Amino acid sequence: MKGERVKVERAEFKSRRSKMLYQVTALLVVVLIASGVVIFFLVRNSQNKLIDKSIEKVINTEVENISETWDYLISTMVAAQAEKLNVQDVLAFSADIMAGKITDVQRYAIDQSKAMVDSGFFGTEYIFTILPASGFIKEPFIFAANDESLIYNWELPDYIARAMKEGEPYLLLDDGIPELNLEGSQLVTITKTPSPFMPNYDVINICVIPMQEKIDAINAFYAGERRSISLILGLVVLFSIIAVALIIFLLLNYLIRKRITEPVEELAAVAEQVMEGNLDVHITVHKGADFEGLERAFREMVESFRKYIAKATGEEE
């Protein structure tokens, strides 16, 4: 009867051991999953930064190309007009400007701007030549544009005027330019060109280029790459968690069996024999083991029982 009770207790011990093993493994799996989620979002954040840098690189390349082209074209155009002007022409030119008339110089710039826009020059929607404020000009105004109706009549938006004043090479306007009825992302390039007519005075050339399609194309490309990388990363994290969890489970199972289960089962088997009346048993004490103290105490107890019984039966002098 006692032996049966010992067997039941051993079975309950194994059950508790398995439960503990599963609980510890589950806790570690939760930690691994949390770590995997953190890694996943960190990688996604890095991808988003990469997309932003790629967009910025495309914009910078576009701006540099347009600025260099503008520098050449404007210098050529202005030089061509400067050869036709003398001092009297400049004075008449200034008077016409003050009167709000379209001069020959402006007409030439307007025609060139229209030709560039019509030819699809970098996909440009608008080209403006702006005379900044100076001692003779109180406010910057549109000197020439591909849309002639804007000359003298269109007020330069504050954010563009501020960018010109601060020397910004470009503006990327995500919400478009309401003043020109342009929606979506718009790139506004700002190029300064020295004026051949006035020393120490720069003419500002502005291009307005729709960028929404290019930005959407970049985002679409990286979105596909991001989905692919996210899938691969998710699978790697998943299989890593499964592999690590399996290794941990097997390692814990081995350690629990070697350090706890086997010593306890061995001790329980000896205890079962003792309870059945067999005191002639060998109890091994595993030095350095977790149950060394218990094994030693149990051995001393059995030895005490032996001595007591031997004394009681007269076997010991």
pLDDT at 317: 45
Residue-level pLDDT at 85: 59
DSSP structural state of residue 177: B
* Of 95 and 281, the one with more pLDDT: 95
Q: What is the DSSP letter of 139?
A: S
On the CB side of 263, CA atoms within 13 Å amount to: 20
pLDDT score of 293: 72
Predicted local confidence at residue 214, as pLDDT = 82
* Residue 55: C-alpha distances to residues 25, 124, 187, 214, 269 (Å): 45, 18, 12, 9, 73
Q: What residues contact residue 233 under an 8 Å CB cut-off, 6+ apart?
A: 39, 40, 43
C-beta separation of 187 from 209 below 8 A: yes
Is the pLDDT at 126 greater than 90? The verdict is yes
Q: What is the mean pLDDT of residues 160-167?
A: 88
**Band (87; pLDDT cuts 50, 70, 90):** low
User: Please, what are the domains in the chain?
Assistant: 2-47+220-312 (no CATH), 65-216 (3.30.450)
Q: How far is CA 72 from the centre of its chain?
A: 39
Residue 78: strand, helix, or coil: helix
For the stretch 218-245, what's the b/e string if a residue is b when 16 or more beta carbons lie within 10 angstroms of its beta carbon? beeebeeebeeeeeebeeebeeebeeeb
Edge-first strand listing for the sheet containing 170-173: 141-145, 126-131, 202-210, 186-194, 170-173
Q: Is the pLDDT of residue 88 over 60?
A: no
Grouping H, G, I as helix, E, B as strand and the rest as coil, residue 76 is helix
pLDDT tens by residue, 271-285:
777 676 666 666 667
CA distance 145 to 207: 10
Residue 17 and residue 154: Cα distance in Å, rounded?
83
Q: Residues 86-94: what's their mean pLDDT? A: 64
Residue with tokens 């954010």: 159
Percent of the chain with pLDDT over 90: 5
pLDDT band at 2 (very low <50, low <70, confident <90, very high): very low
Q: What are phi and psi of 137, to 5 degrees?
A: -120, 120
pLDDT at 168 over 80: yes
DSSP element (H, E) containing 88: helix 87-98
CA distance 266 to 283: 9
State the pLDDT confidence band at 78, using cuts at 50, 70 and 90.
low
17-26, 30-39, 163-172, 179-188: range with lowest mean pLDDT: 17-26
Question: Who's near 127: CB < 8 A, 6+ residues apart?
Answer: 113, 116, 117, 121, 145, 146, 205, 206, 207, 208
Q: Are 62 and 209 within 8 A, CB to CB?
A: yes
Instruction: Show the tokens assigned to 159.
Output: 């954010």
CB under 8 Å to 27, separation ≥6 — which residues?
A: none
Q: How far apart are CA 131 and CA 201, in angstroms?
A: 9
